[in-house]
A and B are shown apart, each in its own frame.
With several copies, the nearest count.
Chain A
Amino acid sequence: MNELNYTTDEMMTVTASRTLRNGAVCFVGIGLPSTAANLARLTHAPEVVLIYESGPIGSKPHVLPLSIGDGDLAETADTVVSTPEIFRYWLQGGRVDVGFLGAAQLDRYANINTTVIGDYWKPKVRLPGAGGAPEISSSAKEVLIIVKQSARTFVEKLDFLTSVGHLRGGDSRQQAGLPGRGPVAVITDLCVMEPDAQTKELHVTRLHPGVTQDDVRKATGWEIKFSAECGTTEVPTASELTTLRDLQHRTSVAHGRTSAGK
């Protein structure tokens, strides 16, 4: 295949979408996760089941939702249940294969902060808060995280632990009684990280084409490790890029702005 022009954001989204297997039941966070999950649905995973916390099950939106409760999500769903039912019967019920989340801060064990930067009672930045994430990260059988990488985001220590990844590493997550297996991959605009089988510390398993280990080090707030077999991500295919761009174009027409899903 010929080399194509693509942005680092597109690289990230396409890579994340590829990690979703066909037929998986995916609890989707808004923004980047929703973009990647819908790209998966429109490419290799037509049978993926998308669940949104507002209630739609099996959504097949024509455009990307701006909010977690857009009408298109309901209209294209197999069914729409109440929000309590989504959290009780479907997420806590253990029916979700993949929880697909974003993050404001992330640490080496893929624990997530979406609550505050700075002190909780005197925050430097007040973030939106927990939403569905603590229970998604707890109850989904596995978790995928998609987030743009920077040293401000990938930090040595979280200001606040909102949603558990692998807690303090090792089997500490399991010991804490969380039912799901936790994060299996973190997909950024630079690379793919996966937890070490034993320590559960994130290490880079694939670099996106053109990205160096040094680029990743500079964009990580701790001393990031690289897998011995660290490979290179496959570039987006023409078909993936076309599908993604068409989706984003339809979305911007529908929402009246340049780009949704961010």
Chain B
Amino acid sequence: MAKITTLSDAVRDLIHDGDIVAMEGFTHLIPFAAGHEIIRQRKRDLTLIRMTPDIIYDQLIGAGCARKLIFSWGGNPGVGSLHRLRDAVEKQWPSPLAIEEHSHADLANAYVAGASNLPFAVMRGYAGCELPKYNETIKTIDCPFTGERLAAVPAIRPDVTVIHAQMADRKGNVLLWGILGVQKEAVLAAQRSIVTVEEIVDDLEAWPNACILPSWVVNCVCEVPHGATPSYAHGYYQRDNVFYRAWDEISRDRDRFTAWIQRHIIETKDFSAYERVLAG
């Protein structure tokens, strides 16, 4: 059964230095509040997994939380580069960042394998692509029936998965809707999980076959309104496209980035304090 707790306690209890951490949300429902809290608690040496690192991992990487990134598309969507990611890869600042690069289809399948408790996934992919030359986790396997050669990729099994969802009930059952991404698979593939939600309600009033994570597959549920901003929460608020564009400038310069992190995250108590600082 999920414990309903504060985000600060959840991150303190469940995420340890050196952990393999997946924080998913495909443009939608990106768990920014949780990312900030990891920075605030100065977690170190994390292996970060995310299909699209987005600003959330740009912040974690620039703040020195990560030693390795596993990803499949590393841009600022609709804007351009992730400058902190590039600086870490190209100039080892603030510390070297190992990267392990996949395609979307690969990581999506790898999460499915993890959720299914299989050691690997089979997919038709990567033929002719040069990524497997630089990523030895991508292998091939022959179909025992047809002889066809297919790609084989190892399952993702994070120590901790962190996601944001729209709702939970008081027992900790979680409901999400809209663009679902790989969040269900990421939670089910992980040893532990933290879910931040927009609100905790008496009754989810979920429609048939809604995407629900039962309380007993989640460790901690934390109520954090706006916890996905500047990404969005379908039914609650829109994507803050202005912030995504502003990030390009903030993150371009090391000093400006560091000052931003200091003022907005390190010196704030929690996500609502961050929001007040951001609002000026």
Residues of A within 8 A of B (CB): 23, 25, 30-31, 47, 49, 53-58, 65-71, 73-75, 78-84, 86-89, 91-95, 111, 115, 120-121, 123, 126-135, 138-139, 160-164, 167, 173, 176-179, 255-257, 260
Docked complex: B90-119 residues within 8 A CB-CB of A: 90, 101-105, 108-109, 111-112, 115-118
B77 touches A30 (CB 8 A): yes
Q: When chains A and B are docked, how far (Å) is the Cα of A84 from the Cα of B107?
A: 9
Q: When chains A and B are docked, how far (Å) is the Cα of A163 from the Cα of B103?
A: 10
B125 touches A135 (CB 8 A): yes
Q: Of all chain B residues, which has the CB nearest A260?
A: B78
> A92-B123, A93-B188, A162-B130 given as contacts; is B216 within 8 A of A87 (CB)?
no
Interface SS majority for chain A: loop
B216 touches A83 (CB 8 A): no
A54 touches B179 (CB 8 A): yes
The stretch among B41-49, B56-64, B234-242, B266-274 that forms the contact with chain A is: B234-242
B27 interfacial contact with A, CB 8 Å:
yes
Q: Of all chain B residues, which has the CB nearest A89?
A: B115
Cross-chain contact of A93 among B77, B117, B128 (Cβ < 8 A): B117
A87 touches B104 (CB 8 A): yes
Hey, which chain B residues are within 8 Å of A78, CB to CB? 173, 212, 214
B247 interfacial contact with A, CB 8 Å:
no
> A89-B116, A129-B71, A134-B129 given as contacts; is B103 within 8 A of A83 (CB)?
no
B103 touches A134 (CB 8 A): yes
B75 interfacial contact with A, CB 8 Å:
yes
B158 interfacial contact with A, CB 8 Å:
no
B124 touches A69 (CB 8 A): no
B277 interfacial contact with A, CB 8 Å:
no
Q: When chains A and B are docked, how far (Å) is the Cα of A66 from the Cα of B68?
A: 28
Q: When chains A and B are docked, how far (Å) is the Cα of A53 from the Cα of B214?
A: 17
A83 touches B26 (CB 8 A): yes
